[in-house]
Amino acid sequence: MSIQPALAAVVFAAELARFGNRTAIHHDRGSLSYAELADRVESTARSLGPVRRLVALEAGNTLPSLVAYLAALTAGHPLLILPAGGGDAAAALIEAYDPDVVITSAGRESRVQERREGTGHRLHPELALLLSTSGSTGSPKLVRLSATGIQANAQAIAEYLGLRPGDVAATTLPLSYCYGMSVVNSHLAVGAAIALTDASVVDPCFWELMHARKVTSFAAVPYTFDLLERVGFAEMELPALRQITQAGGRLAPEKVRSYAQLGQGRGWDLFVMYGQTEATARMAYLPPDLAETHPASIGVPIPGGEFHLEPVPGLDASELVYTGPNVMLGYAESPGDLAAGRTVERLHTGDLARRTPEGLYEITGRRSRFVKIVGLRVDLGQVERKLTALGVAASVAGTDERIVAAVEGGHDLPMLAGILARELGLPRGAVALHPVEELPRLANGKPDYPAVLAMGGTPASADTSSPGSPSCPDSLPSAATRQDTVRLAIADALERGDIAGTDTFVSLGGDSLSYVAASVRLEQLMGTLPPGWHLMPVAELEALAGAPRREETGNKALRALRSLVPPMDTGIVLRAVAIVFIISSHIDLFEWQGTAHVLMGLAGYNFARFMLAGTRPERLRRQLRAVVRIVVPTVSIVALGLMVTEKYNWTNILLLNSLLGTPKFGTNEHFWFVEALVYILLGLAVLLAVPAADRALRRWPWAFPMALVGLDLLLRFDVIVLRMPWQGPMLWLFALGWAAAASRTAWQRAAVSAVTLLSVPGLFDNDLRNATIMVGMLMVIWIATIPVPRFLHRAVSVLAGASLYIYVSHWLVFPLFDKKYPALAVAVSLVVGIVYGTLATRAMNLAECFLANRRSGRSTESIPKEQP
């Protein structure tokens, strides 16, 4: 049975099947044709029943969410969009509007809750979509959009962007945001493809997707461009990219010009756009060929739309008014409003604008962004622009008593406040500036002006204290007085206090050692951590931590078992087990070799996770810092051993014994693993500092490490014979771990597994040793987490975090014990290594703080004396 579209059906959703076998959706488990997508949509639409009902959808960038979205549009069920992740905002909307059906995300599936048969609402026949207005997430005030308006806006966007069936758009914005939704609508309207992803542009996985799916466009809000600069976007080779679209707020003209020029040189177009939720999405666009010469303009109306300028009483300015088929039906503030028809014909945007001689429109201010202080009218947008001209990033709010500004970065706030007061002709006390690490923003990336205004109770413009060093907080509450939070967990793991919402664990300098400490703390806060959490912005982690945890479904016994034996990161478990096996084998408690080679593969896996984000200079600094943090504690132990035992020599001090020492294993070869790892890390730092190699890695993130595997296998199988350290070539194992982390498809993991199974046998004469390496590597490749009894989590994490320090220090510890007591020697070696790791890490953190303070000219007195 086919679903007959209701009066309110959206055409592009109802006619998906007309594009047949063209690819419609790329998702994490493959791709879906338009015909297959249409079948799923029809099936879901049928399950919603023949009676029009109010459907609430938790809209995430997942295939089940997208299918449910299209099914409701197809069957004519008015759709109330809830923010992804649930939480208080979604709960408030559900309570206010009492939907008939609620569809929420449940992993890879959707959970459908039918709250009643039929409907409890009177629904206007044109009503298709209900969206929160910009900045009012969770508010009962919603925008009522018609099916005609959604279709018209999708067609208009597709027309001015020149979309074609071969295009592929990445979902850089959430489906719950009208801008992100418009990307999906416009591409499906022309038979183009959607690459579903939740990855941020700071996540290397996003750029792998761009290459793998040949993505031709992605959408950006102003803040996205800050992130693009962080990851070295200007240097990336993206041959499939045709266009970048920008909306969601004003992008600084200099950035518009800069990215327009970059696009001209790289073969893609920048489309600056203007819109509001009340206009479904888009009202204007700036043709790419005008972006460089008119970067302050929003351009011209979209096809089918018109602008008018209406004078504003009391202001020497005009308001921008829009008409077109995509204008909303009106607002809804209660369920009773869902029966209303059109109450809005002309959309008063609230923006002040002018029309240039070239026929382009420019926004000059915001009608509601004016306050009147001591009889003087003040344009808050103009205050922001004044601060920008002074090189200050700020968000400005205000009342008729005071201007309040959040100011980012280290500035002399009293001086700035005085300058503003004089230029605006206001009393000095009417200007309050507040220092912030990062400007407060809403979930859609726009400035959070209510949050700025809330700062007005405690003005800080008179504070003359200098800001803390980025890496060394001046003061933080003691651990005994603080409530655990996401930021605090990461701050403690990295010993830094300057964590912003847009930072990620990796961008803050997190590595495989600090990852252990942070992940354990975060698991206590959030339960199971999302995959790739170390690459997620802190603000996203905070939102997940603050969201109500969903009640698990399924067998009660299984739920109880999962609570007693929750999962741990496989890498953490392997490191803990490996270090115990290594120490026990060396001390002859038992014999089980091969785990050190698993750790080499795991080192490559972690290298891919923590060392490859950011620009080339940032990566180089991060890689060299990792080398220093391996070399310093190792050399310190070797120096101590040389002084108290005379077992070692200068080749050990310089970590050159593998290259210059004897090929026979003995005392001098105790640190072969560290030497091999340092050689590999230094070699890769040099290699990836070469622009051509950097470009190759970005373009072929999986093939690049696999090529390194192939090169080193020539040494492994003696095709090329070189003098190698005692343990032989190690790069191939490291690169296999790297390739495992870079694998995004089952066939890539299968390929890495096949190379592992073919190359490890015969590495050693001991079959158990070879089997241990193969099993360990296969676990790294295929298994993300391992169930571990909850009472062991702390011990496992401590052992994993101290594994390097246990390894380098145990050589000096266990000889102090009688061979009759190997278990005691193992236990003491582990304890000493843990203590050494704590002291060494703290000392290196203090040294970094000291150097950072010296570079910034701060007094060393500001270095924290105890770990926060």
Residue 109 lies in a domain: yes
Question: Do residues 310 and 375 both lie within one domain?
Answer: no
Residue 196 lies in a domain: yes
Pull the structure tokens for residue 542. Answer: 């905070």
Give residue 448's domain range: 371-457
Query: Which residues, at least 6 apart from 380, have a Cβ–Cβ distance to it below 8 Å?
Result: 366, 369, 370, 371, 396, 397, 398, 403
Question: Do residues 386 and 492 both lie within one domain?
Answer: no
Q: Half-sphere exposure of residue 85, counting CA atoms within 13 Å on the CB side?
A: 17
Question: Do residues 319 and 212 both lie within one domain?
Answer: yes
Residue 116 lies in a domain: yes
Query: Which residues, at least 6 apart from 591, have a Cβ–Cβ distance to it below 8 Å?
Result: 585
Question: Do residues 128 and 176 both lie within one domain?
Answer: yes
Question: Do residues 285 and 322 both lie within one domain?
Answer: yes
Of the three residues 514, 537, 569, the one that is the final residue of a domain is 569
The dihedral sign for the CA sequence 646, 647, 649, 653: negative
Q: What is the DSSP string of 499-553?
A: --TT--TTTTT--HHHHHHHHHHHHHHHSSPPTTGGGS-HHHHHHHHHSPPPPP-
Type and span of the H or E element at 352: strand 347-355
Question: Do residues 172 and 76 both lie within one domain?
Answer: yes
Residue 39, pLDDT score: 96
- Check which CATH number belongs to the domain holding 332 and give it: 3.40.50.12780
DSSP tag of 868: -
Of how many residues is the chain composed? 868
- Check which CATH number belongs to the domain holding 417 and give it: 3.30.300.30
Residue 813, pLDDT score: 94
Question: Do residues 635 and 727 both lie within one domain?
Answer: yes
710-734 pLDDT, tens per residue? Answer: 999 999 998 987 766 556 789 999 9
- R_g of the chain computed on alpha carbons: 30
Residue 860 lies in a domain: no
Residue 676, pLDDT score: 93
Of the three residues 312, 343, 363, the one that is the final residue of a domain is 363
Residue 833 lies in a domain: no
Could you give the CA distance from residue 729 to residue 276 in angstroms, rounded to a whole number? 59
Question: Do residues 106 and 253 both lie within one domain?
Answer: yes
Question: Do residues 393 and 489 both lie within one domain?
Answer: no
- Check which CATH number belongs to the domain holding 554 and give it: 1.10.1200
Question: Do residues 375 and 346 both lie within one domain?
Answer: no
Question: Do residues 253 and 381 both lie within one domain?
Answer: no
Residue 7, pLDDT score: 55
Residue 558, pLDDT score: 64
Could you give the CA distance from residue 453 to residue 124 in angstroms, rounded to a whole number? 38
Of the three residues 423, 457, 491, the one that is the final residue of a domain is 457
Residue 820 lies in a domain: no
Residue 810 lies in a domain: no
Query: Which stretches of the chain drop beneath a pLDDT of 50?
Result: 1-6, 135-138, 458-483, 550-553, 856-868
Burial of 827 (0-12, 13-18, 19+ CB in 10 A): middle
Other C-beta atoms closer than 10 Å to the C-beta of 11 total 17
Question: Do residues 490 and 597 both lie within one domain?
Answer: no
* Closest CA relative to residue 205, chosen from 612, 604, 709: 612
Residue 4, pLDDT score: 39
Query: Which residues, at least 6 apart from 540, have a Cβ–Cβ distance to it below 8 Å?
Result: 200
Q: Based on the structure, what is the number of domains in the chain?
A: 4
Residue 266 lies in a domain: yes
First-residue to last-residue Cα distance in the chain: 64
Could you give the CA distance from residue 599 to residue 776 in angstroms, rounded to a whole number? 9
